[in-house]
Chains A and B, each alone.
Chain A
Amino acid sequence: MSVLVYIDTLNGSVAKNAMEAVNYGSKIGSTTVVTNGSISEGDLAALGNVGAAKVLVNRAVSTNDASQITNIVAAAADSCGATTIVFSQDLTGRAVAPRLSAKLKAGLASGAIALPSADGSVKVNVFSGKAFGNVSFNSDKKIISLTPNSIQIEETGGSAVVEEFNADAGSASLTVKDVQKQEGDVLLPEAELVVSAGRGLKGPENWGMVEELAKTLGAATACSRPVADIGWRPHHEHVGQTGVAIRPNLYIAAGISGAIQHLAGVNGSKVIVVINTDPEAPFFKAADYGIVGDAFEVLPKLKEEIEKLKAQN
């Protein structure tokens, strides 16, 4: 079976969630990757190591224009005869996959967390992480959009053939005026480790210890909704039902009570550590590890202990 995987490489590198999508595709069938922009040929050839046989790159379109990318992916699917098309459910995947679904009349399973089962159905996240659904397709062509950080990448040691792909993308539907890069080293939506804090920290001036712990771990920082709403932290750090939904390997929450709206954004996390002075905080019910204690004392100690662990290894 021929599989096509679209990945977003517009910031000049191949993100981990993009590699996951390629690796996922390669477990379904012979995988061609399509991307656009100015990424280096070497980075693309390296996708062979996660299962790509061939990579098609369109150099002409270097903006994130959903209609142009849709046209490129549709042409690539046609040229390699793909019956399954895979995206990562990242910000670009969310824009392009539905357009492509309508264009090709191909069913779309978004938020997949596992490979298709024997009957072809795909398990996806529904009810904001509180349940799973098995999506079955009524169309010949299928589109699957993979939830980041839901599969383990298996390296194959191969190298992919890279080809320029000059399909007609049509005219641009929008113009990019400005790009405001997020601060911080680790981006929250794709972070494997996240340190988050809430109103229990009492004020924005106390976030130093959250940032220091995150830095020691190589983690992203996050916050609860009230903290973003009162302006202590930027909105893009807000995790929860109306903010970002994340599923890191480790989520450390300090001074967050764990309202159901907050849990909706983090309950896909593999391991949750809750630090709270209130032993009755509802978050402990969703936690794997709990510390009833003061974040002001626990966070610096946690940083210290992690430094010790890192020094040993």
Chain B
Amino acid sequence: MKFLVCISKAPDTTSKIEFTDGDTKFNEAGVQYIVNPYDEWYALVRALELKESLGGSVTTITVGEVGDESIIRKALAIGADNAVRVNAQANDAYFTAFQIAEYAKANGFDIVFTGKETINYNGSQVGGMVAEMLNQPFVSLASKLELNGAAATINREMTGGVEVVEVNTPFVVSSAKGMAEQRIPNMRGIMAARTKPLEVIEPAACEDLTSFATYSLPEAKSACKYVEADNIAELVNLLHTEAKVI
């Protein structure tokens, strides 16, 4: 089985979110980048588990510039066999999906894994787009995936519950909580990652369909209004007459 895992970088959760250049650019000064948690904890680790029990290979693909190689090495340290970096800035989900689909078409994978969304753009876009471009089924928001030959049984989140679906490889799946448990890379993995293949390819021609014109920050919250613990009637009164939410 050949598995392809889409890996994106994301600013560490504790990063201060600020913008520069007239609010058109994310201020990267002092920002620590991590592997997007959904890509790492759920997509990558489940692909590795399947490889360990069924054999095969796990390749990661990242659309990004040379600075992204530290997070790609992290994915290799966790256990991916090899990595591909498409040498381009990922500004638009369609552009990113197009690059991944082109690579997947040329190399043929049984399952393409993505995370549910990135924690910086929260778009949930790339997986579905790749599936359409590959003309393959797309199972979104999977919380469990078992593979038996070419037939996969997948639990996915649905409005009001969980749905168990069956789908045959090849397909694209986006991974949510429950798929796998986070793995911490060990020293041996970190050492091995240094010499694992990281292929850099140039992007295929594709136009962006969208761009972020500007960014803004929410208005600062006014200070918390404290209510005494023995005066809950006052809290209920505030929620009813001031906040008007009950």
What residues of chain A have their CB less than 8 Å away from a CB belonging to chain B? 8, 10-11, 15, 64, 66-67, 70, 89-92, 94-103, 105-111, 119, 121, 125-128, 130-139, 173-182, 187, 189-190, 193, 217, 235-236, 238, 241-243, 245, 249-250, 260-261, 264, 270-271, 273-274, 284-294, 297-298, 301-302, 304-306, 308-309
Contacts and interface: CB of A to CB of B under 8 A. Distances in A.
A264 B13 contact: yes
B28 to A, nearest CB: 13
A180 B143 CA distance: 13
B166 A250 contact: no
Contact of B246 (A176, A187, A250, A284): A250
Contact of A102 (B97, B143, B177, B243): B97
A8 B160 CA distance: 12
Contacts of B164: 176-180
Contact of B209 (A99, A105, A127): A105
B207 to A, nearest CB: 7
Contacts of B119: 127-128, 241, 264
Interface residues of B, number: 78
8 contacts: A64-B163, A95-B128, A108-B94, A110-B123, A132-B215, A241-B37, A305-B232, A305-B233
Q: Name the prevailing secondary structure of the B interface residues.
A: mixed
A288 B242 CA distance: 11
Contacts of A180: 161-164
A125 B210 contact: no
Contacts of A245: 122
A131 B209 contact: no
A305 B239 CA distance: 11
Interface string B70-97: 0000000000000000000000011001
Interface in B117-152: 119-133, 136-141, 143
Nearest to A245: B122
B232 A98 contact: no
Interface of B: 11, 13-14, 17, 19, 37-38, 41, 93-94, 97, 119-133, 136-141, 143, 153, 157-167, 171, 177-178, 207-218, 221-222, 224-229, 232-233, 235-236, 238-240, 243, 245-246
B159 A15 contact: yes
Nearest to B115: A242
Contacts of A293: 229
B159 A284 contact: no
- What 8 pairs between A and B have smallest CB-CB spacing? A293-B229, A98-B128, A173-B137, A107-B209, A102-B132, A95-B140, A107-B210, A178-B164
A306 B122 contact: no
Contacts of A291: 226-229, 232, 235
B128 A134 contact: no
Nearest to B209: A107
A289 B239 contact: yes
B140 A111 contact: no
A290 B243 contact: no
Contacts of A292: 226, 229
B132 A99 contact: yes
A137 B210 contact: yes
Contacts of B208: 138
A17 to B, nearest CB: 9
Nearest to A65: B137
Nearest to A259: B13
